[in-house]
Structure 1
Amino acid sequence: MGLEGFHVIEVTEQLRHLRVVVESDPAPAGCHACGVIAASHGRREVRLVDVPSFGRPVRLVWRKRTWRCVEPKCRAGGWSEQHDGLARPRALLTVRACWWPIAQIRREHASVAVLARQLGTSWRTVWRSIKPLLEQMAADPTRFDNVEVLGVDEHIWHHVSTKPVDQGGRGPKELTGMVDLSRDQHGRVRARLLASSRDDPGRLTPTGSLSAVRGSAPV
């Protein structure tokens, strides 16, 4: 997994996915309110969508450790472990399963719907998981660092609609994108998408030149 303090305890093949069970190594925990060493309160299983493996969806079962404070005057009660490197609180996807679709969209021009099928989950689950990361990257001004050549690409994304436009159907949507056309140390054009006017890329299918724009993302 690449996460310090975690280990895999079971891998089983289910009908539609692989089931991987992980847990953290035993360690004492202090109460976050009063600091007293807490008592173990067992475990609870949290089921997460992880990146596909061997062409199959993966369900990661995190056996979370739970504790309770033994100090009578403390009101902390009980709590369960958290690890932002594995999954954010109340997340449905692991952290790496959030970054994986972004990399696939940029490098392989995949749609959110296709990636949702590969992950074995819904379009809405994937989009809600990656949207905050995309917004965070879009708000980062450092993405314009070292940009020497800037290109503007006007493009059309076609909506699928069974009704004509004059009957309430959706027509083609125009899009404008800014692309980093600077060259790297090897003389290759970066072709990195910096900004786009699109509002909801997951439901759209790219056609034309913008579909060739590629970039990079943490994985």
Structure 2
Amino acid sequence: MNEETRPEPEFSVFDPQRFLGLDEMGLRVLSWRRLGRPDGPGLRQIRCEPDSHDARWCPSCGAYARVRSSWLRTLAHVPYGDDAVHLLVRVRRYECVPCSRSWSDDLEAVGAGRGVLSVPAVMWALRRVCLDSMTVSACARLLHVAWAVVDRAVRERGMLLLEQADRFSSVRAIGVDEHVWRHGAFGDRYVTVIVDLTPRCDGRPARLLDMVPGRSAQVLREWMQARGGEFTRRVGVVAMDAFAGWKQAVESVVPHAVEVIDPFHVVQLAAARVTKVRCRLQRDATGRRGVKGDRLYDCRRALLTSDEYLGARGRARLMALFAIQANRDLMLAHDAYQRVIHAYRCDDRRRGERMMRELIDDLTGPGRYKGCRELASLGRVLKRRMRDILALFRHPRSSNGPTEAINGRLETLRGNAMGFANTTSYIQRCLIHSSQLKDILTH
């Protein structure tokens, strides 16, 4: 692909104002000094003042005002190597004698409001937290400011950019899952995670769309209703686990959407039945839980391993285990578990759908699986959600796997931050970490 070559910028005389980006902020450097050890990180203080004198003209009468007083405002700027950079800006207060009014230099382009960080420093911290997964404490240490200053600035700026991006306008497929944001004995521990699966249709990764405190049908229902009628009409696919609350919310708000149960949860249901059968047979045979040396206990991992990854030793152990007549139910549960895996791994989607349909019919019919109560329970669950399970084969790239992957990334975020104090802060940091903000900052 031919691309237009951009001309390289020419070299010019070194200008500290341009080097630090102070010219874009309308500041003029007066002097500087460095504090700290020569062989370690330090602090570079730069004294500067507004370069424009337009503020001296009275906005009412247009007279040339006099400088009544001035003070220094300290702003943390983008670090220079390992050294923090602080701007000591001389802010002048002007007075118009004929109008009897006073005003100060406008520093909104330097630092918003009464903030401690300069505008470039806020964007630097946001990029480090969002793109490099740097912790807020590490950013605060490099900037030589308090942790709360960086945390508040990053969250405010990040949420502002997300609101301006209108991240809900092009959503056609979503994934829903629960997530534990805080491990404790008291208080609400769960949030509902909503992931935008639409980019997967174009071969791009999914992105975190939103998070809502709580996990119930009402929580998801209220969230979808709050998005408006245009959003609900546009959503055509909703991926979820087997939790009945998600299904109730989707059917009440977006009844036209296709509900898809993720393969991970279907395989997990089948694996849980294998474990239940093994534990029941272990108790029936020994009257206790399994311990090392018991054949059923020693084969627990081999029972949950796919046939494709099972070695010769594992196959021999399973064959010896299934040769015992008392373990017939375990052999049937293992067979059903492997059939679920093979159906999802089949390259031909139509054939995979047929394999899954035949398995559900066998589990609920009078076939060879009859008599095992664990498999009867599995058959009832799969039969009840049969349409949602088979929908995956007719709607490619609608798996809820990206939602599970984002959940794992959020676990890493919480570990790096060593926990969060409240739900609001956690949700905002998660949106900064795994949402559309990465694309906004890099394009």
TM-score (norm 1): 0.72
Partner of 2:85: 58
Partner of 1:79: 103
Q: Deviations over 1:39-65 (max 9, x none)?
A: 234542110122222022221111223
Confirm or deny that 1:176 pairs with 2:401. Answer: no
Report if the CA contact (8 A) 1:138-1:195 is conserved.
Answer: no
Q: Deviations over 1:68-114 (max 9, x none)?
A: 1131xx231x3220132211232211112223322222222233233
Supply the distance in 1 between the matched residues of 2:190 and 2:432 (Cα, whole angstroms). Answer: 14
Question: Number of matched residues?
Answer: 203
Q: What percent of counterpart residues are identical?
A: 27
Choose which of 110, 117, 136 in structure 2 pairs with 1:93: 117
Unaligned runs of 5+ in 1: none
Partner of 1:105: 129
Supply the distance in 2 between the matched residues of 1:20 and 1:181 (Cα, whole angstroms). Answer: 47
Choose which of 29, 35, 49 in structure 1 pairs with 2:62: 35
SS in 2 for 1:199: helix
Q: Which amino acid aligns with 1:25?
A: D
> 1:134 offset after TM fit, Å?
4.0
Report if the CA contact (8 A) 1:82-1:89 is conserved.
Answer: no
Supply the distance in 2 between the matched residues of 1:97 and 1:153 (Cα, whole angstroms). Answer: 35
Supply the distance in 1 between the matched residues of 2:132 and 2:83 (Cα, whole angstroms). Answer: 18
Partner of 2:350: none
Partner of 1:201: 426
Partner of 1:48: 75
Confirm or deny that 1:19 pairs with 2:45. Answer: yes
Report if the CA contact (8 A) 1:153-1:176 is conserved.
Answer: yes
Partner of 2:174: 150
Supply the distance in 1 between the matched residues of 2:86 and 2:433 (Cα, whole angstroms). Answer: 32
Q: Which amino acid aligns with 2:148?
A: R
Compared CA separation, residues 187 and 173, structure 1 to 2 (3 A): same
Q: Which amino acid aligns with 2:195?
A: V
Partner of 2:157: 133
Q: Deviations over 1:112-167 (max 9, x none)?
A: 233222222212222333343344345447122334443345433346xxxx74xx
Report if the CA contact (8 A) 1:157-1:172 is conserved.
Answer: no
Confirm or deny that 1:213 pairs with 2:237. Answer: no
> 1:211 offset after TM fit, Å?
10
Compared CA separation, residues 213 and 91, structure 1 to 2 (3 A): closer
Structure with more contact order per residue of length (Cα contacts < 8 Å, sep ≥ 6): 1
The alignment's C-alpha RMSD in Å is 3.6
Q: Which amino acid aligns with 1:66?
A: R
Partner of 1:9: 30
Report if the CA contact (8 A) 2:73-2:90 is conserved.
Answer: yes
Compared CA separation, residues 58 and 181, structure 1 to 2 (3 A): farther
Unaligned runs of 5+ in 2: 1-20, 37-41, 213-422
Structure (1 or 2) with the greater helix fraction: 2
Report if the CA contact (8 A) 1:9-1:21 is conserved.
Answer: yes
Supply the distance in 2 between the matched residues of 1:102 and 1:153 (Cα, whole angstroms). Answer: 27
| Deviates most, 3-12 or 46-55 | 3-12
Partner of 1:70: 97
